[in-house]
Chains A and B, each alone.
Chain A
């Protein structure tokens, strides 16, 4: 495979993690458009740790995730008071606030004969942990997918545990959930915190494979991608989010690259169509069954 393909493998891995960060929150029935903000926090914090403090990528990534988690936890409390469209608006506002924070954030130091660090609107360049340590594109792709696999496995396990059922109970009917003794505050804030942590991890990986980030990377399009994957993939299990990230990034974005901006339109239309006609996602059991009938294929993967 060429470098371009390996690059795509990296992107899909990071976007899978991004989608999973929204998946956890969506399980409780909350639509968070703040995920891009959490990604930005993870990206900048982890980037500063490897570049300015010269930490290894793994502790930097975890610290970036934790920083995003702390903020997500703080956001989770006011988010309790609003729901539906108001929550969407409030979380968009938060994401924009975080983006503008990095737009104004300037902290550079001299490292040898170059100056490094986030430089406000100019962005944060030279996040070169991977090249400096001799990681090849393949190594980086493998690393991203190991992290993605760990998160996928953890959430898959959580989904089947009682904790997962509690999240889903809240997502299905808040009043009934409270009435069986579930503390809504704890559950919703925990979901936000976990979602923030995962988004922060995605940000740390993103900053390091691109080596250059700026505030505009963390705009509303990224926030839309984050919630689009679990919505398109359905909330039945984590695999839907994985398949949706592959589907969108490989088919819609890359294969149809020649279509240019029309792709964004298609992406938006796809979300609206799925939400209206396939509320359980593109890969629900019912869709898979239909696909089998149409194609005559006996064995399609069950999502």
Chain B
């Protein structure tokens, strides 16, 4: 579904991502892990269209999206969250979801005037669904900026889902969450996978990654050092060395 070939991003002399290859199959949860600064967020940002790659290609559903800007990748079916939460803080929870319904299909169906001026009934119903799914229904009129940290993380995932993506890029969705919240997130991710959403999960919280992913790629200094099932990756010597070399195991966000 998503194919990345010899993808590179250089910032001046820093090779943040270096000749990276991987393929995410439809319907799986694919983990992308690695020590701090290993190039995970940079990879996410290239796929999402925030950064133009220095080199390499990105294909989504067979289409070349290497140069596509963020709103175009969204229309293609890829939604994302940010490592440093970026909500519309002065808008309510409800409005954050309402304003995010911009998939190609949502734009095509229905009356455009109603969509822009009133917000169609269908859009409103969909917002309710995401509120329920993310357990935020009771916060609908709260300003996003006033939510607790865990709620903000949940809202950001919900906002990404509001565009009914086929593919979800999650950059450390569990960072700063307590164990309870991580478990809920785990369950939500499984529900999403069962609904047919493919997920690329960047995460330091190993309890989550090892539990929920189907396959994992491991980065170190911008290069892929291992790929396989969670069990295979855990056994991999290069991976253990990378995490030991990174000091305290990179468990901080």
Contacts and interface: CB of A to CB of B under 8 A. Distances in A.
Interface string B187-226: 0000000000000000000000000000000000000000
- Residues of B in contact with A, size category: 20 to 34
Interface string A177-213: 1111111100000000000000000000000000000
Contact of B163 (A161, A162, A180): A180
Q: Which of A162, A175, A184 has the most CB of B within 10 A?
A: A162
Contacts of B117: 157-158, 161-163
A176 B48 CA distance: 11
A172 B71 contact: no
A169 interface: yes
Interface string B103-121: 1000000000001111100
Given A162-B99, A165-B98, A181-B75, A176 B87 contact: yes
Interface string B64-97: 0000011100110001101000111111000100
Interface string B44-56: 0000111000000
B50 A172 contact: no
A175 B89 contact: no
A247 to B, nearest CB: 23
Interface of A: 157-158, 161-163, 165-166, 168-169, 172-173, 175-184
Pairs of residues from A and B, 8 with the lowest C-beta to C-beta distance, nearest first: A181-B102, A181-B74, A180-B100, A178-B70, A176-B86, A165-B99, A161-B117, A172-B88
25 contacts: A161-B117, A161-B119, A162-B98, A162-B115, A162-B123, A172-B90, A172-B91, A173-B87, A175-B82, A176-B86, A178-B50, A178-B70, A179-B80, A179-B82, A179-B86, A180-B100, A180-B102, A180-B162, A181-B74, A181-B75, A181-B100, A181-B163, A182-B99, A183-B71, A184-B71
Interface of B: 48-50, 69-71, 74-75, 79-80, 82, 86-91, 95, 98-100, 102-103, 115-119, 123, 159-160, 162-163
